[in-house]
Each structure stands twice: as C-alpha cells, then as structure tokens.
Structure 1
C-alpha cells in the first residue's frame, strides 16, 4: 500500500466539516483515484467543543493553525479559515515556505496576495491549489488552466455569487422588494449578517480577478475591477426588464482585446435565451470563450458544504497524483501586467430608468439629452408611478459608447424634472 497523503486541515466550519465527511465516506474511491490514501492527521479551529457532525477524535488538535505547516505528519495544508490577511495568509506563507503544498478556498486572499503566494510556491517546488475559491463545485479553474490551455481566450464572464442570484431570482419570481428578500435571506442563512461583500459585488470581483489571471495569462489586478452591486436594483427594474425580454443578473465580466484588460462587476440585463438567464436561485454559472473551442458554459452550485468540499478534495487528489503545475496556468514571470481598458470607449446597449415629474414636455427633454450626445433610442416605456406620484420612464438605447450614455445621463440629472438619480444597466449582447 503506498504511503498516504497526510493532510492538516485549518478551519472546521461547514466546508471544513464537509471535507472531513467526504474523505471518510468516499475513502476507498478517493484512494483508488489518487493512487494512495488521503488522510487527515491534524486539525485546527477556534472552538474544540462545537458539534460539527463529524468524528474528529482520531485527529491531533492544534490550537495555532500555523503549527500545521511545521508538523512532520502533515504533507499538505488545507486552509478554510477565510480572510484576505491575518491567520490565513500567515498559514499560507509558512506552509509554502516549508515546501509543503497548500489548498485553499480563499478567494479574497488570492485576489490580494495570489501572485506572491504563487511565486513562493514555485520557488519552493510546492503546489498552490484553489479550485474551491471560485464557483464552489464547478471545475472552472481546472477548465481554464487545463482544458482550455491551448486556446487564446478573449472573454470570461458569469454569475459568481449565489447570494445575489438568489435575491434577484426571488425578486423576479415572487415580486418582492430587494430589502424584503435580503432580510429573509439573512434569516435563512443565505446571506451574512453583514452582506456587503456579496450584494456590493466585492466577492464577485475577487473571483473575477482570479479568473482573468487564468484566462488571459495576466497578473492579478483586483484594484482595476470596476464594481457595482445590486443595492440599486428595484422591483420596477425587474418588471421592466421582463417586459423587454431580459432578466437582471449580477455579472462579472473580463475581456482581453490583445492589449488591455477590461474587468467589471455590474447588474446587467441578460436576454431570456442566454444560458446565464436560466441559472436561477443560488446557482453559479460561468462562460469562457476560446478561439478554437468556442464558448464553454458551466453551471452548478457555487457554495455550500458539499460542492466546496468536493472541489477541495479534487485538488488533494491532484496533489496525491503528483499533478502540480503553476498556480495561474503559467509561471509568475510569464504573466503579463495588462493595462486596464478604457471603459468610456466600450460600445453596447444600455437600460436607463428615470424617475421624473409627471408633466408635459418631460419625455421630449429626456430624448433631447440623448440626441445631443448621439444616442438613439431602441424602446421607451412609461409604466406606473413612484410612491411620490412621479412617473417611471425606462429606455433601451441602440449601440453607443459608454461615454455618450453617461454624458446624456449627466445632462438629464441637471433637469428639475428628474426627481431621483437615474439608473443605468448594461445589456449583455454576447
């Protein structure tokens, strides 16, 4: 019998407990696929006495997670603590410095420190694996770094946050306001007590920056991701989008034009016929477009005990097989620092929602603002009124640059007929 791969596990929340259960339940199958047993030898978490629904009695308990990296009976450390800095980063550095492989689900740490950790892993001949960090159980990291390795990829995009997708789906299907759905999601455990990272798009931005590095051979540039969350999305937008043949989704989009890198997280109108539109509830979905393979689409559960544990153990199986490779698909020295693309010159169609005084001449004033900046209107709807009695006007533009549309909105906002800040959303046309 080959020697087992011995694991030190830091973090015993839902995902950590899921890893314990998965390795125990499928031990024989995993050993056959990995070529040797994968065994947990030591664990670390804040509370020794919490019931995690798994038998931990045979494992050595370590109070300081950083000690896992120095133990002789640990070959690989799995980090499920979370946080971009602090104990998780310390553990990552100590583990790789010791020449041991490191598996993590920590997208925030990778978005901020991934290049440094990847360089350290290369220097020490260790593996840095993170399939669980993006889209949970969906094997999108492996797809980009291995399955599409021969392709020039020009675009990767998708729904990368289950909480936002859950909220927007319930708003649409049950016709509920954003605040109501958010409160119920928090009560049910689908959203954190402080949901800012999810609903403000930060979580999606972390994941998008990692996907962009893998897809385009780029150095991670989280600071260059333009981020807009879903707080401003109202039930009226959901309804109007549906009337126009769209669903509103929080989309993370990265594009490489050969010279620059565009990265944005934003609510977008997705046509009903697009595969992203069919991903409902807490599902994640990712699309990647390669020059030879075309568009590949992945959908599944992006979070939770089972899917995330599955991705963690898949990484462990790779390490047990001796499959290593550079963390971001190529050596860090080969990654390119791509300059950010100029969003102002991007062309597309736009959804505009305005709250205006219900009086004669207002529509003419709005359309004049668009005309003045060279933007033409594809469709215009005026349906219902706000609680204050103002009219809601929705317009979809023909293709225009972002600069033209923003200039039009700025002109509209200067009008005393516009009683609330306009809302602009992009339309997904690919």
Structure 2
C-alpha cells in the first residue's frame, strides 16, 4: 500500500470537525477504496484549548494556518475556515504556490478569487477542488464539470440557499410573516444572527457565479449577478400564488441569452406541478439543461456538517486516486470573458401586487397606462372591503390588486411601476415577482 495522503485541516467548526470525524471513522474503508491511507496530520483553529469530538493524538497543531498550508508534512490543504479574504485567501494561495492540492467549501472565496486561484492551481500543479462550495452534499460540481462534459449547457437553475427555502416553505404552509419565520429559523440554527447574506440572496449568488463559470466556460463574475432577496415577500403573496397555482421560491438562474449570459437570483413564482416547486425545507436542488442530456435535476441536503463533510471527503478521495481536472472545467487560458446579458431585456410573465386608492376609476387608470406601455394583462384579482364595512384605518382606504401579465420585458414592467410610484398612483412600494415556467 502507498504512503498515506497527509491532510492539513484548517478550521474545526461544524464542517471541519465532521470531516475529521468521518476520516477517523471510515479510515479503513477509505484506504481499501483508494489503495492508500488518508490521515489528518496537521490542524489549525482559533481555539487550541477547545475539546474536539475526534482524536487529536499524533496530529500536529498549527497556530498559523498559512504555516500549515506550506508545511512539508502537508500533501493536501483543506480550508474550512470561511471568509473571502484574509487568512483563508492567504493560506489557500500559499498552498497552491507550493504545489499542494487544496480542498475547500468556501464559496465566497471562490466567487471573488476563483479565477486567480484556478490559474495558480494550473501553474504550480496542485489541484483545486470545491464540491462542497455549492449545494452542500449534492455532487453538482462533479456532475456539471465531468459527467456532463460532452453537453452544451443552455441553462442552470435551482434552489441554492436552504435558509431561504425553509423560510418560504413555512410562510406558505403556516401563513406566518417573514419576520416571525426568520426568528424561528435563527432559533433552530438555520439562519445566522445577521441573516443578510442568506435572505438578501448573496449566498445563492456566490454559488450561482461558480456554476455559471463551469457551465458556460466563462470567468467567474459574481458582481454581474442581478440579486433580489426574500424580505419583501408577505403572506398575501402566498395566498395569491395559491389561487393562481404557483409556489414562491428563491431561484438562481444562469442561461444563455442573445446579449450574453444572464445571471439572476430572485424570488419567483413557479408552477406547483414542476419539480423545483416540490423542494421544501432546507433542501437544495440544481437543474441542468443540456443539449444531449435534456434536463437533469439533483437535490439533497444543501448544508450541515455531515452533508458538507461528505462532499469534502469525496474531493479528497479523488485527489488520493490521482484525479486532476481543471478547477473550472477547462484551462483558464481558454475561458472566455464574462459578457453580462441585459436583465432589463429579460422577457416573461410577472406577478404584480399594487395598493391603489379605493376610489372609482383608480384601477381603470392603472390598466390603461399599462396597456399604453405595451403590457398585456392575463388576469386581475381585486380584493375589496366587505360590503357595508366602514374603514378602520388609512389602510382600509386602499384596495389591493393582484395582476398577472402576459410575457413582457422587465424594462417595460419596471418603467411603468416607477411611473406609478413617482406620480402617487399607488400606496407603498409595488410588489413584483417574476413567473418562471420551468
């Protein structure tokens, strides 16, 4: 049997500890599968004194993860510290510059520095593996980069953030507000104390930028993604979606368009009978449309220590077997610059919820001006006060109108909504949710 593959493990939080424990428990099976032992020989974390749920006997401690990354006793550097800059970037860069292979679950790091890190990997001969960075335990990177390498991909889309999917699933099922559901998610550990990164769509956008690069052979460009979060979604939107036969999901979509590659993360109404609508709770799902494979969907746990550790160790097994694949699916020298499609030209149907003054002719004026903007209306639901009920507050002087449009452009819809707001035709900010026919 060959010499052991020596791992330097930086970051011993939920995922890092799960990786060490998996290797400890399944070591004999891993060695039998790949023909050589896999051992954690060096570790680094913020707190040396903290007790661990795996044995640290015979493992060298490094206070500085960069020193661990350059150590001659490390064959593969496993970065599970998190963060897009700082010590995570320094240590991964150091490992690659020393010709070592790197395994990471750090989507923020890859979304910001992935192009340069992939180039370093190629220049110095070490692999850069990151299955766990997108979709947790779902093997979507390997599927897209390797198994579907013979396909020309036209679209990648899915549910890329379990926190948002949990919140939206509960809001739909229980009719509770976003704020109440978010507090429950935080209490259960599904959402951070500062949930902005998740609920405003940035986490999903980082993952989407990586998928886009591999799917379309373009350089990673996270800054060109159109992003909307879920904090504006209200129970009334779920009630309307139910009546119309839709569910509301936070969707990440990357697709080829005439003007370039379209990348967007936003809430969407999806038909109840489509596969993506059936994904509930903290589960993630990614669908890939290819010219020969057709449509393929993978779903499973998108986060959590064990699921993410499974993906990390899967990458380690590949490296132990000698597998080497260009990190982003093709050599960096052949990757194309990212050309951003114009989101304002995106065409589709839209759900609009407007609060109009409760007076004769208010809606007729709105409908006429939408027609003048070339927007055709598919359906209208107007919710009035019960007959004879007296207004109890200023809000009771407003009628809620839900509009579903036929296919139109984002430019036309946003233009007319901005006009309504500027001229005082609506109360508050109109709600706009795209309709996606997957």
Q: Same fold (TM over 0.5)?
A: yes
- Aligned partner of 2:31 in structure 1 is 31
* Partner SS for 1:393: strand
CA contact (8 A) 1:369 1:411 kept: no
Pairwise CA distance, 1:236: 0.8
Can you list the C-alpha shifts for 1:255-298, whole angstroms capped at 9, x where unaligned? 12376111011000011011111110000010010001001101
Pairwise CA distance, 1:201: 0.5
Pairwise CA distance, 1:53: 2.3
Can you list the C-alpha shifts for 1:167-196, whole angstroms capped at 9, x where unaligned? 101111111100001111112211000111
- Aligned partner of 1:423 in structure 2 is 431
Q: 1:387 to 1:266 in 2, by over 3 A?
A: farther
CA contact (8 A) 2:42 2:68 kept: yes
Q: Which range is displaced more, 108-117 or 44-53? A: 44-53
Matched, 1:168 2:176: no
- Aligned partner of 2:58 in structure 1 is 58
Matched, 1:366 2:366: yes
Q: Distance in 2 between matches of 1:387 and 1:57?
A: 69
Matched, 1:406 2:414: yes
CA contact (8 A) 1:99 1:125 kept: yes
Pairwise CA distance, 1:129: 0.3
Q: Distance in 2 between matches of 1:294 and 1:61?
A: 49
Q: Which range is displaced more, 119-128 or 236-245? A: 236-245
Matched, 1:388 2:434: no
1:193-342 matched pairs, under 5 angstroms: 193-257=193-257, 260-342=260-342
| Count of residue correspondences | 430
Can you list the C-alpha shifts for 1:377-411, whole angstroms capped at 9, x where unaligned? 11111236798222211111001111121222123
Q: Distance in 2 between matches of 1:280 and 1:3?
A: 45
- Aligned partner of 2:388 in structure 1 is none
Pairwise CA distance, 1:415: 4.1
Q: Distance in 1 between matches of 2:29 and 2:367?
A: 65
Q: 1:392 to 1:104 in 2, by over 3 A?
A: same
1:130-141 matched pairs, under 5 angstroms: 130-141=130-141
The TM-score with structure 2 as length reference comes to: 0.96
Q: Distance in 1 between matches of 2:119 and 2:212?
A: 18
Pairwise CA distance, 1:35: 2.3
- Aligned partner of 1:72 in structure 2 is 72
Q: Distance in 2 between matches of 1:387 and 1:349?
A: 32
- Aligned partner of 2:4 in structure 1 is 4
CA contact (8 A) 1:137 1:303 kept: yes
Q: Distance in 2 between matches of 1:340 and 1:347?
A: 16
Q: What is the RMSD computed on CA atoms of the aligned residues?
A: 1.3
Can you list the C-alpha shifts for 1:322-345, whole angstroms capped at 9, x where unaligned? 001110000001110131111222
CA contact (8 A) 2:114 2:220 kept: yes
CA contact (8 A) 2:220 2:338 kept: no
* Partner SS for 2:340: coil
Q: Which range is displaced more, 25-34 or 176-185? A: 25-34
CA contact (8 A) 1:356 1:420 kept: no
Q: 1:368 to 1:190 in 2, by over 3 A?
A: same
CA contact (8 A) 1:369 1:409 kept: no
Pairwise CA distance, 1:86: 0.3
Uncovered stretches (5+) of structure 1, i.e. residues with no partner: none
Pairwise CA distance, 1:36: 1.3
The TM-score with structure 1 as length reference comes to: 0.98
Q: Distance in 2 between matches of 1:29 and 1:362?
A: 71
Q: 1:286 to 1:387 in 2, by over 3 A?
A: farther
Q: Distance in 2 between matches of 1:387 and 1:219?
A: 51
- Aligned partner of 2:48 in structure 1 is 48
Q: 1:44 to 1:66 in 2, by over 3 A?
A: same
Q: Distance in 1 between matches of 2:311 and 2:394?
A: 47
CA contact (8 A) 1:259 1:338 kept: no
CA contact (8 A) 2:259 2:342 kept: no
Q: Distance in 1 between matches of 2:292 and 2:279?
A: 26
CA contact (8 A) 2:82 2:88 kept: yes
Q: Distance in 2 between matches of 1:176 and 1:52?
A: 39
